[in-house]
Structure 1
Amino acid sequence: MTDLAETGIKTETRTPRPVAASIVYGVSNRMAVAVLLPALGLLFWEIAVAAGWFSGRLMPPPSRVAATLWALLRSGELLDHIGITTVRVFFGFAIGAATATIAGAITGYFGLARRLIDPSLQALRSVPSIAWVPLFILWFGIFETSKVALIAVGVFFPIYLGISGAILSVDRKIVEVGRIFRLSGFALVRRVMLPAVFPAYVTALRSGLGLGWMFVVAAEFMGASEGLGYLLVDGQQMGKPDQIMAAIITFAVVGKLTDSLLLAATAPFLTWQDSYRREG
């Protein structure tokens, strides 16, 4: 075999990039791509207000919104509002997700329960969120219980629908294979049903969490004196559009962070998936 050096062919040797450096590079690259569109939008917004295309009084530029955010952050008020709203969403999400998972599993797995319970739940799913507010105020008052209950209602229905529909859509052939191997009822659920349902369940959890952040705004309209929803109401009543925009941006950022945490927490349970994912 002829040596490559003797033939005059130059070979390039590359030192492998350390694993930690590769991870950092990948994360930083994804973050740069993720913030590109919002950064361009903020830049256009700033230019449009400066050029007089939008009214700076009703549509404050990002620089003014950033100054408001910084003032709220420096005073500690913003962190207090974020913490209170996040706690409300956490408890509402936990209660709504737990009850929805149980109800969805029962109606998805047992035909009789589906025929008895599902029609009523589907009818309640059509009730607007704001319609529950006066009822919850009468039942629980205007304090934390009514707010958490309203968030739990908003979280419940997408998760219930997701888990129930995922169980009903499990391939019958997979279940029959499990029965051929003489799996008991519990083993069949654990080894066949759960892996088949879990990806759709994660998607339902993300939808429920997103609705939890939407419902917390309606919940904090119910006589709240703290929270990001209160910042919205206070900005509207006091004529502070910069405060309203600051609260909306904070909702978006914190909501995205919680969604990312949910994805990170469920990712280890989905490593077995060999699904299509296009990078680039």
Structure 2
Amino acid sequence: MFQEGISQAAVKPRTHHKLRTTKNRRVLISITNALLGILVPVALLIIWEVAGALNILNPILLPAPSDILEELISLAQSGELASHFGISAYRALLGFLLGGGLGLAAGIWVGFSYSAERLLDPSLQMLRTLPHLAIAPLFILWFGFGETSKILLIAKGSFFPLYVNAFLGIRSVDSKLFDVARVLQFSRWDLITKLIIPASLPNIFLGVRLSIGVAWLGLVVAEMMGSSSGIGYLINDARSFSLTTVVFSGIIVFALIGKGSDSLVRWLEKRMLKWQDSYQGGGRS
């Protein structure tokens, strides 16, 4: 008994040391990944700034990063940027919720029903290929220059990524899982909620990420085609006056909010799909 107590006491420090080493390794890997992620952008910004300082670049066509940053700060301090951004965010969110929600529902329905697939999928696939720029004039003609045409244009773009990925996610569920469900005597409701939907969540989350990206693209088209407010309008108005720093400021805002929304969905995906065991590009962090 005494020897066993000594052995257990010796194992505990070793276990704590191993856990601490693993945690430190994960932190080091995270820091390394973050540094690698910003290495290329920082290098490009330095080269760009140096080229601007040496007058190699035309400041009207391609202003230096410091000038763009100064303009961005000025727009933020004046409140103009926040005002336009609030309007754009409202349009993008509403369009995404409308189009993405309908796309998810349609993808689940078509995924579960072969009859619905034969009825709807050919038409939806044809509509999916229509570009925003071709549809935008019709939307303005039908619904005017108000909010309705903008939100519907964003919804049109957000619909298809979620539709396609929800449909593929359901159809790509491993058939062996259905054998397990049959052995466990799952009801149809249990089959849907405990097997099919969870197994298709990776595809659905991918569809959400793509839909959010397309929503911002649709927003730019909608606001540049006919609008008196929003980041897209700010960019288009600045372009007509050759205010390139303002154009770049609007682009930076779109890039930051797009990256932020994508990172949020990825974080939610990791939290909800902890059970997923997939290849991580050479090792887990």
TM range (shorter): 0.7 to 0.9
- Aligned partners of 2:102 and 2:273: how far apart in 1? 23
Q: How many angstroms does 1:203 deviate by?
A: 0.8
Q: How many angstroms does 1:98 deviate by?
A: 0.6
Q: Which residue of 2 aligns with 1:259?
A: 262
* 1:240 partner letter: L
Q: TM-score, normalised by structure 1?
A: 0.88
Of the structure 1 ranges 83-92 and 259-268, higher mean CA displacement relative to structure 2 is found in 259-268
* 1:40 partner letter: A
Partner SS for 1:239 = coil
Q: How many angstroms does 1:38 deviate by?
A: 1.6
Of the structure 1 ranges 23-32 and 269-278, higher mean CA displacement relative to structure 2 is found in 23-32
Q: Which residue of 2 aligns with 1:190?
A: 193
Do residues 142 (structure 1) and 148 (structure 2) align?
no
* 1:41 partner letter: L
Do residues 88 (structure 1) and 91 (structure 2) align?
yes
- 2:239/2:247 contact within 8 Å kept: yes
- Aligned partners of 1:87 and 1:34: how far apart in 2? 30
Q: How many angstroms does 1:265 deviate by?
A: 2.9
Q: How many angstroms does 1:25 deviate by?
A: 7.4
Q: Which residue of 2 aligns with 1:103?
A: 106
- 2:111/2:170 contact within 8 Å kept: yes
* 2:215 partner letter: G
- Aligned partners of 2:21 and 2:77: how far apart in 1? 39
- Aligned partners of 2:19 and 2:176: how far apart in 1? 45
Matches within 5 A, 1:48-63: 48-63=51-66
Q: How many angstroms does 1:167 deviate by?
A: 1.2
* 1:93 partner letter: F
Structure with the higher fraction of residues in helix conformation: 2
Q: Which residue of 2 aligns with 1:232?
A: 235
Q: How many angstroms does 1:37 deviate by?
A: 2.2
Q: How many angstroms does 1:43 deviate by?
A: 0.9
Partner SS for 1:226 = coil
* 2:69 partner letter: A
- Aligned partners of 1:197 and 1:271: how far apart in 2? 14
Partner SS for 1:221 = helix
Unaligned runs of 5+ in 1: 2-10
- For 1:98-117, what per-residue CA distance to the aligned partner results, in whole angstroms no more than 9, with x for missing partners? 10011001111100000000
Q: How many angstroms does 1:176 deviate by?
A: 2.5
Give me the identity figure in percent: 38
Q: How many angstroms does 1:233 deviate by?
A: 0.2
- Aligned partners of 1:221 and 1:174: how far apart in 2? 48
- 2:92/2:219 contact within 8 Å kept: yes
Of the structure 1 ranges 23-32 and 245-254, higher mean CA displacement relative to structure 2 is found in 23-32
* 2:172 partner letter: S
- 1:101/1:163 contact within 8 Å kept: yes
- 1:142/1:222 contact within 8 Å kept: no
| C-alpha RMSD of matched pairs (Å) | 2.7
Do residues 132 (structure 1) and 135 (structure 2) align?
yes
- 2:224/2:232 contact within 8 Å kept: yes
Q: How many angstroms does 1:52 deviate by?
A: 3.6
Matches within 5 A, 1:31-46: 31-46=34-49
- Aligned partners of 1:254 and 1:65: how far apart in 2? 17
* 1:203 partner letter: L
Q: How many angstroms does 1:20 deviate by?
A: 11
Decide which of 50, 72, 78 is 1:69's aligned counterpart: 72
Of the structure 1 ranges 222-231 and 198-207, higher mean CA displacement relative to structure 2 is found in 222-231
Unaligned runs of 5+ in 2: 4-13
Partner SS for 1:53 = coil
Q: Which residue of 1 aligns with 2:167?
A: 164
* 1:94 partner letter: L
- Aligned partners of 2:127 and 2:256: how far apart in 1? 31
Q: Which residue of 2 aligns with 1:8?
A: none
* 2:197 partner letter: L
Matches within 5 A, 1:7-22: none
- Aligned partners of 2:256 and 2:32: how far apart in 1? 19
- 2:60/2:242 contact within 8 Å kept: no
Q: Which residue of 2 aligns with 1:205?
A: 208
Count residues with an aligned counterpart.
270
Q: Which residue of 2 aligns with 1:178?
A: 181
- 2:162/2:210 contact within 8 Å kept: yes
